[in-house]
Amino acid sequence: MAEVRLDRVRKVFGSEGDAVVALDGFDLALPAGTFTTLLGPSGCGKTSALDLIAGFTKPESGTVTVDGRAVERPGPDRGVVFQDLALFPWLRVDENIAFGLRALPAKEADKVKARTDELLEAVGLLLFRRRYPAELSGGMRQRVAIARVLALDPPVLLMDEPFGALDAQTRVLMQEFLVSLWERRPRTALFITHDLDEAVFLADRLCVMTARPGRIKETLTVDLPRPREASIMSSARFHELRDRARVLVREEALRSIQPLSGTKA
């Protein structure tokens, strides 16, 4: 299992006059095998931080490391699940899941098949293995997307609002599904969301960011028992954690819109 660290990170988009400082003095450590959720107002730099860990972008200064090694580029050790899925519409469900395994030599075809079956079962889609993404519901498509990332068994799992486009009922089912999947095989996870219930329900640690330039404002330890079940959402401790997170996010959301409120129409 892998420890992820961002130390004194500065990330700037654009240059000169229209430069936007997304992150500045940003420190975040994801202890190996823990599930961290990242909350913060829109535009505070959550996706920027995740992209740095994924290796999609590089910081202007500071360091991003996995187990002490600097992140230079995307790699199979870090799986990324996006909000807009990115499934291949022309491939069937099982082919989408096996896509990342295509680099394996032909003589390992049996292994690929077994791994794909295992994942299809884990995400409850064995019966739909020969369907195309367009023939599935939103929640089913999202499960294919997760299975495809898990195919490579990455020690680090990065998720950027993966359930953002789902209806409320499906979303709760997907949260329960992800939690049980993760509890069966814990790995270092970072999960971005705007949904406070989701953030508490999934996490070991909940990090709230400041308004841009983003830093970690406060980290809450989610000391709720595992395995997590939906019933925990009605416990007093759950409400306490969620309400604390709400206060923290609201403070920063207000700060992030302040420049607008000062201008005259």
Ligand X SMILES: Nc1ncnc2c1ncn2[C@@H]1O[C@H](COP(=O)(O)OP(=O)(O)OP(=O)(O)O)[C@@H](O)[C@H]1O
- Taking CB under 6 A as the rule, does residue 19 contact ligand X? no
DSSP state letter for 18: G
Rg (CA), the chain: 19
- Taking CB under 6 A as the rule, does residue 210 contact ligand X? no
Q: What gap in Å lies between CA 139 and CA 171, rounded to an integer?
A: 8
Q: What gap in Å lies between CA 261 and CA 220, rounded to an integer?
A: 30
Q: Are 235 and 220 in contact (CB under 8 A)?
A: no
- Taking CB under 6 A as the rule, does residue 172 contact ligand X? no
Binding region for Mg ion (CB under 5 A) out of 45-53, 87-95, 110-118, 177-185: 45-53
- Taking CB under 6 A as the rule, does residue 193 contact ligand X? no
Structure token digits, residue 120: 């299809």
- Taking CB under 6 A as the rule, does residue 105 contact ligand X? no
From the list Mg ion, ligand X, none, pick the one residue 61 interacts with, judged by a Cβ distance below 5 to 8 Å according to partner type: none
From the list Mg ion, ligand X, none, pick the one residue 20 interacts with, judged by a Cβ distance below 5 to 8 Å according to partner type: ligand X
Which of 47/96 has CB closer to Mg ion? Answer: 47
- Taking CB under 6 A as the rule, does residue 33 contact ligand X? no
- Taking CB under 5 A as the rule, does residue 193 contact Mg ion? no
Rounded to whole angstroms, what are the CA distances from 238 to 64, 65, 144, 164? 32, 32, 30, 21
Binding region for ligand X (CB under 6 A) out of 24-32, 40-48, 132-140, 181-189: 40-48
- Taking CB under 6 A as the rule, does residue 45 contact ligand X? yes
Count of CA atoms in the C-beta half-sphere (13 A) of 112: 17
- Taking CB under 6 A as the rule, does residue 256 contact ligand X? no
Q: Closest approach of Cβ 161 to Mg ion, in Å? A: 7
- Taking CB under 5 A as the rule, does residue 47 contact Mg ion? yes
- Taking CB under 6 A as the rule, does residue 141 contact ligand X? no
The DSSP secondary structure of 90-156, one letter per residue, reads TS-HHHHHHGGGTTS-GGGHHHHHHHHHHHHHHTT-GGGTTS-GGGS-HHHHHHHHHHHHHTT--SE
- Taking CB under 6 A as the rule, does residue 44 contact ligand X? yes
Q: Closest approach of Cβ 203 to ligand X, in Å? A: 17
The site for ligand X, by CB under 6 A, has a size of 13
* Closest to 66 measured CA to CA, from 100, 25, 32, 26: 32
Binding site for Mg ion (CB under 5 A): 47
